[in-house]
C-alpha cells in the first residue's frame, strides 16, 4: 500500500470510528465507564495486523492517568508498555488489543464493529476476547492510581498490551518483554486478562496451560513397481511398527493437576496415486500436548530413542508453538482468590485446562502469572457479547487485587 493510500485508509477508519462511537454514546448516554471504554475499543476494527486505533485509545487513557507509556511498532505490529510508580516490584496487567475476524458480518445480530448494549449485554467483536476485560483493567487502574501518587506506590503498576495475540503472536508480548528486560527490569506478578470464567464470573482462573508441539516425520524408501518389490523399499511397510510404537507409548502420568502428556498422530500421507507404484516416502505428522513433566527437548529425545530399534532412513522436523507453564500458588493467587471471594462470594478454582495465551511467554521470565477474566463461552463466536454487570464486577475485582498488592508490599516496605 502506498503512503497516501495508508493515510486515506487511516482517515477513513477514524471517520467511521467517530460515527460508530457517537451512535453508541447517544444510545447509551448513561452507560458506565468500563462499558463505554470497551465499546470505544470494539469500534476499532483491529483484526491483526490492523490496529484500527485501539492502541492509541489505551495509550491516551493510561497517559491521562499518569502512566509513562512506550509505544512500539515492529513489522507493522503496534504494542505498548505503560508503567506507574517509581519503585518496588513490577505488577502488570497483560492484554491484547487485536481480535479475530468477525466472519460473515451478515450472520451477526449487530455489526461486529458497531457495539451495542442489548438487555444488559455489550455486543461486538472482542467484547469478551478481550476488549471488555482489557477495558476493565484500564478502568481499575485509573481508579486505583487516582488515590495514590507515584511516590506513595509500594509497587509499580504496568500494562503490557499486544496487537498480535490472535495471529502470529511473534511480536507484541515478546517485544514488550524484551523491552522490559533490556531496561534492566523484571516482572514480578502478572494478570493476563483473558476470559477464564466458566458458568459465572469468578468461578475459574488459569494458573497453567499444557504445551503443544508438532513433529513431522518423513520416512524414506525407494520408489518402484509393486510387481517387483525386491527392487524397491516400501516406506509404508517400514512406518507401520514405528508409528504404532509412538502411538502406544505412555508419556508419563501427568503432574501438578495436569493430565498425562499425549501424542496423537494427526496425518499420514504417502502414495503416488497409482495402485501399482510403491511410493518413495511417507510423511507422518503428530501432535504432543504436554505437561511440565516434560520439556520439548526431552520429548524429542524420547521419540528418537523409540525410533532407534527400527531400520529407518528418516528426517524429523519439530515446531513447538507453546511450552507448558505452571504458576505455583503464591502472592498473586492468594490476593486474586481473596478479591474474587470478596466481590462474588465464590471460591475460585485454579485450573490448567484450555488452549494457549500470551501467558506462555510471560511464565518463562519467572513472573507469577495468572489468567483471569469474564466468561469464556462466547470467545471468537458470532454475536460475541459480554454481560455489562460482569464487566463492572471484573473492574472491581481487578481494583481489589491492586489494593491487595498495596497491603502486601506496604507491609514489606
Q: Which residues are catalytic?
A: 98, 165
The least CB distance from residue 193 to Zn ion, in Å, is 8
Q: Is 375 in the site for Zn ion (CB under 5 A)?
A: no
Task: Give the nearest residue (CB) to Zn ion.
Answer: 129
The least CB distance from residue 50 to Zn ion, in Å, is 16
The least CB distance from residue 194 to Zn ion, in Å, is 5
Strand partners, 349: 204
Dihedral, 160, 166, 171, 177 alpha carbons, nearest 10: 30
Report how far residue 229's alpha carbon sits from residue 351's, in angstroms, rounded to the nearest whole number: 54
Q: Is 130 in the site for Zn ion (CB under 5 A)?
A: yes
Nearer to Zn ion, 132 or 202 (CB): 132
The least CB distance from residue 13 to Zn ion, in Å, is 22
| Alpha carbon distances (Å) from 90 to 154, 278, 282 | 10, 61, 51
And the C-alpha cell for 158?
504496568
Nearer to Zn ion, 371 or 408 (CB): 371
Q: Is 129 in the site for Zn ion (CB under 5 A)?
A: yes
Tell me the residue ranges of DSSP E strands in 124-259. Answer: 156-162, 187-192, 204-206, 208-209, 211-220, 224-225
Tell me the residue ranges of DSSP E strands in 85-164. Answer: 90-96, 116-118, 121-123, 156-162
Binding piece for Zn ion, criterion CB under 5 A, among 1-9, 124-132, 242-250, 387-395 = 124-132
Interface mask toward Zn ion for 177-206; x: CB under 5 A: -----------------x------------
Q: Is 371 in the site for Zn ion (CB under 5 A)?
A: no
Q: Is 384 in the site for Zn ion (CB under 5 A)?
A: no
Q: Is 82 in the site for Zn ion (CB under 5 A)?
A: no
| Angle ∠(245,246,251) on CA atoms, nearest 5 | 115
Dihedral, 59, 196, 405, 139 alpha carbons, nearest 10: 30
Q: Is 358 in the site for Zn ion (CB under 5 A)?
A: no
Residues that bind Zn ion in the complex, under the rule CB under 5 A: 129-130, 194
Amino acid at each position: 500500500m502506498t503512503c497516501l493510500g495508508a493515510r486515506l485508509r487511516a482517515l477513513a477508519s477514524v471517520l467511521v470510528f467517530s460515527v460508530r462511537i457517537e451512535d453508541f454514546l447517544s444510545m447509551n448516554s448513561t452507560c458506565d465507564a468500563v462499558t463505554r471504554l470497551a465499546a470505544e475499543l470494539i469500534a476499532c476494527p483491529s483484526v491483526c495486523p490492523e490496529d484500527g486505533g485501539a492502541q492509541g485509545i489505551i495509550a491516551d487513557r493510561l497517559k491521562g492517568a499518569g502512566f509513562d507509556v512506550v509505544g512500539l511498532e515492529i513489522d507493522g505490529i503496534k504494542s505498548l508498555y505503560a508503567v506507574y510508580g517509581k519503585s518496588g516490584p513490577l505488577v502488570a496487567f497483560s492484554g491484547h488489543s487485536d481480535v479475530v475476524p468477525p466472519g460473515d458480518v451478515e450472520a451477526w445480530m449487530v455489526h461486529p464493529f458497531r457495539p451495542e448494549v442489548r438487555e444488559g449485554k455489550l455486543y461486538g467483536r472482542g467484547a469478551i476476547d478481550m476488549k471488555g476485560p482489557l477495558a476493565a483493567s484500564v478502568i481499575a487502574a485509573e481508579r486505583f492510581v487516582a488515590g495514590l501518587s507515584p511516590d506513595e506506590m509500594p509497587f509499580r503498576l504496568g500494562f503490557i498490551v499486544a496487537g498480535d495475540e490472535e495471529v502470529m503472536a511473534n511480536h507484541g508480548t515478546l517485544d514488550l518483554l524484551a523491552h522490559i528486560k533490556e531496561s534492566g527490569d523484571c516482572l514480578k506478578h502478572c494478570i493476563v486478562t483473558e476470559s477464564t470464567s466458566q458458568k459465572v464470573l469468578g468461578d475459574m482462573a488459569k494458573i497453567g496451560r499444557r504445551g503443544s508441539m508438532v513433529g513431522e516425520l518423513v520416512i524414506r524408501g525407494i520408489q518402484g513397481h509393486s510387481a517387483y518389490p525386491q527392487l524397491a523399499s516400501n516406506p509404508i511397510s517400514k512406518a507401520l511398527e514405528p508409528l504404532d510404537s509412538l502411538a502406544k507409548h505412555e508419556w508419563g502420568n501427568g503432574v501438578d493437576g495436569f493430565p498425562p502428556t499425549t501424542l496423537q498422530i494427526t496425518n499420514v500421507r504417502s502414495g503416488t496415486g497409482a495402485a501399482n507404484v510403491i511410493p518413495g516416502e511417507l510423511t507422518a505428522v503428530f501432535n504432543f500436548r504436554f505437561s511440565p513433566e516434560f520439556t520439548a527437548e526431552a520429548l524429542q529425545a524420547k521419540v528418537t530413542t523409540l525410533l532407534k530399534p527400527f531400520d529407518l532412513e528418516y528426517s524429523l522436523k519439530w515446531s513447538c508453538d507453546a511450552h507448558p507453564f505452571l504458576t505455583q500458588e503464591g502472592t498473586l493467587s492468594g490476593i486474586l482468590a481473596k478479591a474474587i471471594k470478596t466481590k462474588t462470594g465464590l471460591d475460585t478454582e485454579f485450573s490448567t485446562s484450555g488452549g494457549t495465551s500470551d501467558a506462555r511467554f510471560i511464565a518463562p521470565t519467572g513472573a507469577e502469572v495468572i489468567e483471569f477474566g469474564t466468561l469464556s463461552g462466547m470467545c471468537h463466536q458470532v454475536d460475541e457479547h459480554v454481560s455489562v454487570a460482569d464487566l463492572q464486577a471484573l473492574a472491581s475485582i481487578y481494583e481489589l487485587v491492586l489494593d491487595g498488592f498495596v497491603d502486601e508490599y506496604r507491609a514489606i516496605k
